[in-house]
Amino acid sequence: MASVSRLSRELHPLAWWGWAVGLATAASTTTNPLVLLLIVATASVVVLARRTDQPWARVFRLYLLFGVVIVVVRVFFRLLVGGAYGTTVLVELPEIPLPDWVLGIRLLGPVTQEALLGGLYDGMRLATIIICVGAANALVNPKRLLACLPAALYEVCTALVVAVTVVPQLADSVRRVRAAQRLRPSPQGRGRRHQRLRRVLVPVLEDALDRSLALAAGMDVRGYGRSGGLGRRQRLLTGALMLGGLLGIATGVYGVLDTTAPRWLAAPMLVVGVALAVAGLLSAGRRVGRTRYRRDPWRWPEWVVVASGIATAGLLTRVARDQPLLALPSPLEVPTLSVLALLGALLPLVALVAPAPPLVRTATPAPPSTSTREKVDA
């Protein structure tokens, strides 16, 4: 049945996120620039091959750009307030002393290879983590992802769905408001600068609030948040479970911290607390009497994709443990690669077994407009 599982469809959102988190975890274990670049490259290949043509799929470029900015900023700050560490001085810059109360900070000073490359490697690591998350963002419809969260958090997820919907609209709104504000004479004199921020922020906020209320009204009249017949007793039970769980956790935490307290207050209490809390969450989730129109299936490609991400994380964690000099190279030496590291960094390419996404017609040409034209010409 392999062919059916690989027919064009969108992969389960959690599979992509699992894969990306694996990559990010792998990246966080190393500052080796070669390994990091390989991870970015594999992530990019998979994204280019498996993203849809939806708007969120286009953000990957921004994440790449953001990564570059991070590296530049990191290096810049390292050089600006790096302090004198390392001895291999590359350039001497004049030092600007700061008053004593700014503890341990001085501006500029000698640029060392250690500071420069340290900042570069460090920045590359953070940039790679961000690009991995960006890959997940580009591959997954955020709304489908939020639909996977537990039912008890349904309302919270909805707020997040609204947030995810609003972010791109915000950019649009800011652009529109800025253009509109230029249509009125700008205020003169004192306070111009803060006026400028306000002239954008207030209309954008008003606009966003108006839209959100319209959206809320739209959701409400279509039955969003109907009580699924949760009775008074069920509510009481839910509340009791949740409170009991939290109390259990609180007591357990105390038990863990105070070693003089009886031992049954520690781990057993924590376990009981968590169990009660989870039961409470499940019970609360039962109030949501909602069904799903199209459920995302979880088949073997999902397993393979997730497994490749986890395996990458595992391999590179092993590299970090067994070959620390390779994983965290000294800024004074040329970074190297090993077979294990190479394998780990290239393994995420296995995710290409994921089915190709369906073609979503986002920009089909408008329906034939000749009819109007004829009418108007007639």
Partner 1 sequence: MSEVRTRAAVAVPVGRRSALVLAVASVAGLMMLVWPLLVQVEAGTRVQPPFVFLALMPVVLAVVLAELSEGGLDSRALAILGVLVAINAVLRGMGAGVAGIELVFFLLILGGRVFGAGFGFALGCLSLFASALLTAGVGPWMPYQMLVAAWVGMGAGLLPRRVSGRAEIVMLVAYGVLAAYAYGMFLNLQGWPYLLGIGIPGVDGDGLMFVPGDPLLENLRRFGVYTLVTSTSSWDTGRALTNAVAIALLGPAVLTSLRRAARRARVVRVPVDD
Partner 2 sequence: MIELRGITLTYDDGPPVLSGVDLAVDEGELVLVAGRTGVGKSTLLGVLPGLVPRFTGGTLTGDVLVDGRSVIELPPRERAHLVGYVGQDPVAGFVTDTVADELAYGMEQLGLPPATMRRRVEETLDLLGIADLRDRDLRTLSGGQQQRVAIGAVLAVHPRLLVLDEPTSALDPTAAEEVLATLTRLVHDVGLSVLLAEHRLERVVPFADRICLLTGDGGVHVGDPADVLRTSPVAPPIVELGRALGWEPLPLTVREARRRARPTLSALRPPVDVPEPPAEPDHGLSASRVTVVHGRHVAVREVDLDLPAGSVTALMGRNGAGKSSLIWALQGSRRRYAGTVAVTGPRGDRVDPARLSADERVRAVGLVPQSAADLLYLETVDDECAAADAGSVREPGTCRALLARMVPDVDGTLHPRDLSEGQRLALVLAIVLVAEPPVVLLDEPTRGLDYPAKEALAVTLADLAARGRAVLVASHDVEFVARVAGRVVVMAEGEVLSAGPVRRVLAESPSFAPQVSKIVGGGWLRVDEVVAAAAAPDRPATGEAS
From the CB of 13, what's the least distance to partner 2, in Å?
13
Question: Which string of x and - marks every residue 140-169 that binds partner 1 (by CB under 8 A)?
Answer: ----------x-xxxxx-xxxxxxxxxx--
Query: What's the closest the beta carbon of residue 222 comes to partner 2, in angstroms?
Result: 4
Residue 217, interface with partner 2 (CB under 8 A)?
Answer: yes
Q: How many CB atoms lie within 10 A of CB 344?
A: 25
Check residue 355 for interaction with partner 1 (CB under 8 A). no
Closest CA to 174 of 147, 199, 143: 199
* Whether the Cβ atoms of residue 341 and residue 314 lie closer than 8 Å to each other: no
Give the Cα separation of 60 and 139 in Å (integer).
9
24 binds partner 1 (CB under 8 A): yes
Query: Is the Cβ of residue 48 or residue 163 nearer to partner 1 in the bound state?
Result: 163
Answer whether 286's CB lies under 8 Å from 313's CB: no
Site for partner 2 in 134-153 (CB under 8 A): 141, 143
Site for partner 1 in 100-119 (CB under 8 A): 101-105
Tokens of 221: 């009249």
Tell me which stretch binds partner 1 (CB under 8 A): 180-188, 198-206, 308-316, 324-332. Answer: 198-206
The two three-digit tokens of residue 141, written as one number:
């419809």
DSSP string, 273-302: HHHHHHHHHHHHHTTB----SSPPP--HHH
Interacting residues with partner 1 between 272 and 291 (CB under 8 A): 274, 277-278, 280-281, 284-285, 287
Site for partner 2 in 145-204 (CB under 8 A): 161, 176-177, 179-189, 198-199, 202-203
State how far the alpha carbon of 315 is from the alpha carbons of 15, 94, 173, 231, in Å: 19, 45, 45, 51
**DSSP per-residue string spanning 18-60:** HHHHHHHHHHHT---HHHHHHHHHHHHHHHHHH--SSGGGGGH
* Under rule CB under 8 A, residue 8 binds partner 2: no
Residue from the set 89, 216, 304, 340 that interacts with partner 1 by CB under 8 A? 216
Handedness of CA 10, 12, 13, 16 (dihedral sign): negative
Nearer to partner 2, 81 or 147 (CB): 147
Q: Mask: binding to partner 1, 222-241, rule CB under 8 A, as x and -?
A: --xx---------x--xx--
| C-beta closer to partner 2: residue 121 or 154 | 154
Smallest distance from the beta carbon of 167 to partner 1, in angstroms? Answer: 5
The yes or no reply on residue 263 touching partner 2 (CB under 8 A) is no
Burial class (CB within 10 angstroms; exposed 0-12, middle 13-18, buried 19+) of 42: buried
Pair 335, 34: CB distance under 8 Å: yes
Judged by the rule CB under 8 A, the positions of this chain that interact with partner 2 are 54, 141, 143, 161, 176-177, 179-189, 198-199, 202-203, 206-207, 211, 213-228, 289-295, 358, 360-364, 366-367, 369, 371-373, 375-378
